[in-house]
Structure 1
Amino acid sequence: MNTEVSKPDQPGGSDAEEGGNDEPSIWKRLLFMLLCAVLYSVAEVVLFALVVLQFFFKLITGGTNERLLLFGQSIATYIYQIVQYLNFNCEYMPFPFNDWPRGAPLDCEEEA
């Protein structure tokens, strides 16, 4: 009978101790992910409204609205940040946990 206790940092070791420390943070992340999913839905509606406004602006004036272009880019970047966070591709938490994005999306390393 083997009575040796394996340590978690050794191959074949138990991950129970490591998993136990991460459990509260994974549940906390789940709550953040649910909030981000709701914010994603809101951002989709805002983006759709922005697209409609820009279309009618172009139809009426023949040109695009610079402010709508900039806001559209920031909404697109925001949606990108949410998707990256939801897919565990990035630990950077999007707005409202960090600043509102400006411009094109950055890599996770650049945002942190």
Structure 2
Amino acid sequence: MREINSTEKKNWLSASTWLRGLFMLLFGFIAGFTRFIITLIAVFQFISLLVTGRANTHLKGFGESLNNYIYHINQFLTLNTDKYPFPLSSWPEEKPHYRYTPRD
């Protein structure tokens, strides 16, 4: 049998690690629901485009805001940040800076 070193034992028994996992599960469900809302916005935008010939500006802003929120959730879920997304922090107002930085 393989021996588990003390660091692995500490991570396994750490309450903060389990709490993080619980919040990751919760925010995964929130992200799924938010993606469903974005799908509804897309349908309404298409209907608006058919009827009026242009997109609804209020829905555009709301959709962009939800996209930023999903970005923050994804950053948390992929362990790129330790900052908890809304409602445990403020709603993301600024546009995220999408960047690709290769890691070794």
Alignment length, in residue pairs? 94
Distance change >3 Å, CA 52–CA 17, structure 1 → 2: closer
TM (norm. structure 1) is: 0.73
Query: What's the % identity of the aligned pairs?
Result: 35
Task: Tell me which residue corresponds to 2:21.
Answer: 30
User: Are 2:91 and 1:100 equivalent residues in the alignment?
Assistant: yes
Distance change >3 Å, CA 44–CA 17, structure 1 → 2: closer
Unaligned runs of 5+ in 2: 99-104
Residues 30-65 of structure 1: CA distance to partner in whole angstroms, max 9, x if unpaired? Answer: 011011011011001100001111111111111111
Q: Which amino acid aligns with 1:46?
A: I
TM superposition shift of 1:69: 0.7
Distance change >3 Å, CA 42–CA 68, structure 1 → 2: same
TM superposition shift of 1:16: 3.6
3-state SS of paired residue (1:96): coil
User: Are 2:44 and 1:53 equivalent residues in the alignment?
Assistant: yes
Partner Cα distance (1:15, 1:68) in 2? 52
Root mean square deviation of aligned Cα: 2.3
TM superposition shift of 1:88: 0.2
Kindly report structure 1 stretches of 4+ aligned residues shifted beyond 4 Å.
none
TM (norm. structure 2) is: 0.78
Partner Cα distance (1:38, 1:26) in 2? 19
CA contact (8 A) 1:80 1:105 kept: yes
Unaligned runs of 5+ in 1: 1-13, 108-112
